[in-house]
């Protein structure tokens, strides 16, 4: 076979992730590789910690990026905190809440599942009822922004209920971080994980995480070893702990961390507040345009996630044909429905660098064309 260099097409990425990446971030990843224990690299790691603390709105000392995607961040939170026999109330309103349940069970924990309809926010009242009925619960876990449906839950209210029952909280912020308010300290979140490829508009493959002092104490005082060596945070802590205290754990993805650093610098320059406003503004522009096309949202207006918009596919319209048409004619990616919404809904992402007015205009025009002409 005659192999050649791979040159990907340029796409407008308006799906559930990854999002388009700024030229600044793409440039950063191409910078010269240095060693993962090089003093200059370690200094950059300290800056990543500080920038992630800003993004998460936390002073947690243990805030870092796992060298793997958001799914590994999720697993790291569960396997480091949950021990065999411990009870976890999991609020599930979509695919990723279901994955939390799977993680609890693989840890040997006992999952108590609080179900809410797909496309709806998690019900605080249902959580309160579950905790009243399960007073030996150690953890409450929920997805802040459910990527499979576009529903945004009230993390502050859910964490407040958990704290009333002396539970540690584990929160999925994969799609919310950078796009809507995430306030770890103010809300009382004990463990949170995210992904680099959503509203941070970085290359895929990194998972920002943060652990509260209470969570770190739980990790350090486990009765059993975490079931994964690579994701055992008690082993990684000393690598991210500060100048002069580093110990080798694994070879960090040096160039990917350059990219994460740059994306976080850009977020800091814009400010979180401006980023939240931008995502909300472009969501509203999209919502107005979708209404003019007669397309309906899955999620009620007061529970919608601005950066992930799930809309119902009109009767008689071929899901796959429309998405194929958009890819071939406009080089545009829209997301298919997951789980219960497979074949019934599209997911339109306006995340990070992709959350621009020009993308909204293009999306609306292209979608109208595709619905009318896709075969």
Q: Per residue, what are the HEC states of 36-55?
A: CCCHHHHHHHHHHHHHHHHH
pLDDT at 240 over 60: yes
Q: In terms of domains, do 152 and 224 share one?
A: yes
More confident site: 36 or 127: 127
Q: In terms of domains, do 106 and 175 share one?
A: yes
- CA–CA separation, 63 vs 103, rounded Å? 21
Q: In terms of domains, do 171 and 245 share one?
A: yes
Residue 215, in any domain of the structure: yes
Q: What is the pLDDT of residue 242?
A: 59
| pLDDT confidence band for 238 (50 / 70 / 90) | confident
Q: In terms of domains, do 256 and 291 share one?
A: no
Residue 2, in any domain of the structure: no
Q: In terms of domains, do 128 and 197 share one?
A: yes
Q: Which of 251, 268, 285 is the last residue of a domain?
A: 268
Average pLDDT on 339-350 reads 96
pLDDT at 254 over 70: yes
Q: What is the pLDDT of residue 247?
A: 72
Q: What is the pLDDT of residue 235?
A: 86
User: Do 156 and 186 touch, CB atoms closer than 8 A?
Assistant: yes
* Residue carrying structure tokens 């924990």: 109
| pLDDT confidence band for 374 (50 / 70 / 90) | confident
Q: In terms of domains, do 283 and 256 share one?
A: no
Q: What is the pLDDT of residue 234?
A: 87
Residue 119, in any domain of the structure: yes
Residue 47, in any domain of the structure: yes
Average pLDDT on 173-198 reads 98
Q: What is the pLDDT of residue 243?
A: 55
Of 11-15, 104-108, 242-246, 313-317, the range with the lowest mean pLDDT is 242-246
Residue 6, in any domain of the structure: no
Parent domain of 122: 23-268
- CA–CA separation, 191 vs 77, rounded Å? 6
Residue 5, in any domain of the structure: no
Q: What is the pLDDT of residue 261?
A: 98
Average pLDDT on 70-80 reads 97
Q: CA 195 from chain center: how many Å?
A: 5
Q: What is the pLDDT of residue 375?
A: 73
Percent of the chain with pLDDT over 70: 98
Average pLDDT on 140-160 reads 98
How confident is the model over 197-222, as pLDDT tens digits? Answer: 999 999 999 999 999 999 999 999 99
Q: Which of 223, 241, 268 is the last residue of a domain?
A: 268
- CA–CA separation, 201 vs 223, rounded Å? 38
Q: Read off the CATH number of the domain in which 317 is found.
A: 3.90.1150.10
Average pLDDT on 20-24 reads 97
Q: What is the mean pLDDT of the chain?
A: 96
Q: In terms of domains, do 104 and 243 share one?
A: yes
| pLDDT confidence band for 185 (50 / 70 / 90) | very high
Of 177-186, 227-236, 286-295, 352-361, the range with the lowest mean pLDDT is 227-236
Please list, residue by residue across 189-225, b when 16 or more beta carbons sit within 10 angstroms of its beta carbon and e when fewer do. bbbbbbbbbbbbbbbbbbbbbbbbeebbebbeeeeee
pLDDT at 244 over 80: no
Nearest to 175 by CA among 273, 304, 261: 304
Average pLDDT on 50-76 reads 97
Q: What is the pLDDT of residue 236?
A: 84
Q: What is the pLDDT of residue 195?
A: 98
Q: What is the CA radius of gyration of the chain?
A: 21
Q: Strands 345-349 and 12-14: what pairing?
A: unpaired
Count structural domains, the chain. Answer: 2
Q: Which of 242, 268, 294 is the last residue of a domain?
A: 268
Q: What is the pLDDT of residue 64?
A: 96
Percent of the chain with pLDDT over 90: 93
Residue 299, in any domain of the structure: yes
Q: What is the pLDDT of residue 248?
A: 78
| pLDDT confidence band for 145 (50 / 70 / 90) | very high
Q: In terms of domains, do 90 and 125 share one?
A: yes
Q: In terms of domains, do 324 and 252 share one?
A: no
Q: In terms of domains, do 29 and 151 share one?
A: yes
């Amino acid at each position: 076979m005659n192999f050649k260099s791979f040159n990907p097409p340029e796409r407008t990425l308006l799906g559930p992730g990854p999002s388009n990446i700024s030229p600044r971030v793409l440039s950063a990843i191409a910078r010269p590789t240095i060693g993962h224990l090089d003093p200059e690299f370690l200094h950059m790691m300290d800056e990543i910690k500080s920038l992630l603390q800003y993004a998460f709105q936390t002073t947690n000392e243990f805030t870092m990026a796992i060298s793997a995607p958001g799914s590994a961040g999720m697993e790291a939170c569960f396997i480091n905190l949950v021990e065999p026999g411990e009870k976890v109330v999991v609020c599930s309103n979509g695919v990723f809440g279901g994955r939390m349940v799977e993680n609890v069970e693989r840890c040997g924990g006992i999952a108590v599942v609080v179900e809410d309809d797909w496309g709806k926010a998690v019900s605080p009242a249902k959580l309160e009822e579950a905790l009243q009925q399960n007073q030996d619960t150690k953890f409450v876990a929920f997805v802040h922004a459910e990527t499979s449906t576009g529903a945004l839950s009230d993390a502050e209210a859910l964490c407040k209920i958990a704290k009333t029952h002396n539970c540690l909280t584990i929160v999925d912020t994969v799609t919310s971080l950078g796009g809507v308010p995430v306030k770890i300290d103010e809300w009382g979140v004990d463990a949170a994980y995210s992904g680099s490829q959503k509203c941070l508009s970085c290359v895929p493959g990194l998972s920002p995480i943060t652990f509260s002092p209470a969570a770190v104490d739980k990790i350090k005082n486990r009765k059993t070893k975490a079931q994964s060596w690579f994701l055992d945070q008690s082993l990684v802590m000393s690598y991210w702990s500060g100048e002069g205290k580093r110990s080798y754990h694994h070879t960090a993805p040096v160039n990917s961390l350059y990219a994460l650093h740059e994306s976080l610098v850009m977020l800091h320059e814009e400010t979180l507040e401006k980023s939240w406003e931008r995502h909300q503004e472009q969501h509203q522009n999209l919502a107005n345009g979708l209404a003019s096309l007669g397309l309906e949202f899955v999620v009620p207006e007061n529970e919608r996630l601005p950066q992930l918009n799930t809309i119902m596919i009109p009767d008689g319209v071929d899901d796959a044909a429309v998405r194929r048409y958009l890819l071939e004619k406009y080089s545009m990616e829209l997301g298919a429905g997951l789980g219960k919404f497979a074949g019934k809904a599209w997911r339109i992402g306006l995340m990070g660098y992709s959350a621009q007015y020009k993308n909204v205009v293009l999306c609306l025009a292209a979608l109208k064309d595709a619905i009318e002409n896709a075969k």
